[in-house]
Structure 1
Amino acid sequence: MHFEVSGRTEPDAETIVLSSGLGGAGAYWAPQMDVLQRHFRVVIYDHRGTGRTGGEVPVDGGIAAMADDVMEIVSQLSIARFHFMGHALGGLIGLDIALRWPNYLDRLVLINAWSKVDEHSLRCFEARIALLENTGVEAFVRAQPLFLYPAVWMSENAERLARDDLHGVAHFQGRDNVLRRIDALRRFDIDDRLGDIKSNTLVIAAKDDLLVPYTRSLRLAEGLEHAELMVFDAGAHAVNITEADDFNRELERFLLARKA
């Protein structure tokens, strides 16, 4: 597993592990790094099958195998307890960790995640799979921003998206890896186990998320025993990028609340 550690270096510094969505890249969290590095030892990583980790996603491992990868990193770094922030797929990894390794997990941040996939999200995944299978990698990559960002934001950041498209095609994680990761998203279902999770949790959603209806986050906040809900009116699926300043303020407030 490729991972990077930055931020605070004191032996007793608190650690936060960041896990991205379907793309799997640790670089996804660039807008959050400055604020987090001031307070925490920050661990980012590239998911198995993606980026500098590479390799193959296990055929039948699902989200549990991805959580195992996180705990492998935690073990290598000898971390006894940590905060965890996950976006979409990364949020599902965080929920799995909360169920299987509760003693390791301190605070949990879930961004546009879910306890059970929504039928609308399934439709979106089917459309993306069809693009990949019938049209090719370039079409698959070029469609990705439609599910991540608001239309106006995409219009105002056209040059950035063009660069992202080139990078996405050049570093495509591979057909089999994508399909296995999407399959893990579709099969994940802990809806009847949310009450077993005791971690203090910040649930974040955006009302204009095209990929994951924000009602999935309402369900998380309802089912989790110690959950706080923050719903943005706009920002779409990648709200931590498109509304980074407001997002970072809420994130910092939640993670540092007990120290106030």
Structure 2
Amino acid sequence: MPIAYNGSVALHYEVRGEGETLLLSSGLGGSCDYWAPQINDLSKKFRVVTYDHAGCGKSARAVGPRSVTDFALDMKAVLMAAGASQAHIMGHAVGGMMGLQLALMEPDLVQSLVIANGWGAPDPHIKRCFSVRSNLLRDSGATAYVEAQPLFLYPAPWISKRDAQLRQNARHAPEHMPVEADLLDRIEVFQNYEPSDMALRTLSVPVLCLATADDMLVPWTASKALADRLGNGHFVLFPDGGHASSQTDPTTFDAAVARFHDAYAKELSL
């Protein structure tokens, strides 16, 4: 099992395909399995690297308080262990912010960045949702937290059609998620993430911000605001799909990502 190290923190990662490296980073759940709907197609064009976030899945558990910079350095450690000197990055929500922080720290390492359903400043609605989730975790435990998670991730009709599958997934999720203290710390750190306007404006790395109009957790306006602050930002709004549109409508999601990567490749060839 391939392992990268950021200091003493062990990070499980996997590599598939050939070509330019594309690192995928999931959201708060932290599992590399989040990207299952994308792996087969992406690995036909890219050398795809996935990894479990620190504290999650097969990576080191109970890692303690960490900063956004720490999570960005996890990405760098995984890329170095995988033998990549540069990479495209795609991250969902907090995974996208990890990629953004890495691009701000080391722009020569990041060739392009896709941020799905992310934000670049504290938002009252996001804080309200995270407060509900944090209180649920503290007061009712991991099982209740996981059971409520689909309400924030998926559109209601999508949940209705897959109720049995979601309940089965929920039974196994607590054993792979971060311990309570680490998860609460992650929620606090990322909901308050706010890079400076100057840092974002001077970033030349091409960044695609994807959002969905019916996202229950992250208002699409937060993603749009981030794109507008970026020096090389691009924005695409899907009419529906919820917070996890890469899973609920992978065809539409994947097509938007492919158009961005194709445009980026064409720009380089000029």
| TM-score, normalised via structure 2 length | 0.91
Sort the Cα spacing of 1:156 and 1:191 in 2 relative to 1 into closer, same or farther, 3 A.
farther
Secondary structure in 2 aligned to 1:2? strand
1:113 aligns with 2:118: yes
One-letter identity of the residue aligned with 2:14: E
Q: Render the CA deviation track for 1:17-42: whole Å, top value 9, x for unaligned.
A: 00000000001001111221010000
Q: Render the CA deviation track for 1:165-193: whole Å, top value 9, x for unaligned.
A: 11113333211111111111123111523
1:244 aligns with 2:250: yes
The answer (yes or no) to whether the contact 2:37–2:250 under 8 Å persists in 1 is yes
Deviation at 1:253, TM superposition (A): 1.7
> Which structure 2 segments of 5+ residues have no match?
1-10
Give the match for residue 225 of structure 1. Answer: 231
1:90 aligns with 2:95: yes
The answer (yes or no) to whether the contact 2:154–2:244 under 8 Å persists in 1 is yes
Q: Which runs of 4+ in 1 moved over 6 A?
A: none
The answer (yes or no) to whether the contact 1:36–1:252 under 8 Å persists in 2 is no
Alignment of 1:127-142 (within 5 A): 127-142=132-147
1:125 aligns with 2:135: no
Deviation at 1:124, TM superposition (A): 0.6
Distance in structure 1 (CA, Å) of the matches to 2:54 and 2:247: 23
Q: CA RMSD in A?
A: 1.3
> Which structure 1 segments of 5+ residues have no match?
none
Match of 2:81 among 76, 80, 83: 76
The answer (yes or no) to whether the contact 1:26–1:44 under 8 Å persists in 2 is yes
The answer (yes or no) to whether the contact 1:113–1:216 under 8 Å persists in 2 is yes
Match of 2:176 among 166, 171, 185: 171
1:54 aligns with 2:60: yes
Distance in structure 2 (CA, Å) of the matches to 1:57 and 1:136: 19
The answer (yes or no) to whether the contact 2:29–2:56 under 8 Å persists in 1 is yes
Name the count of aligned residue pairs: 255
Distance in structure 1 (CA, Å) of the matches to 2:216 and 2:63: 26
Secondary structure in 2 aligned to 1:108? strand
| TM-score, normalised via structure 1 length | 0.94
One-letter identity of the residue aligned with 1:40: F
Identity %: 38
Deviation at 1:57, TM superposition (A): 3.2
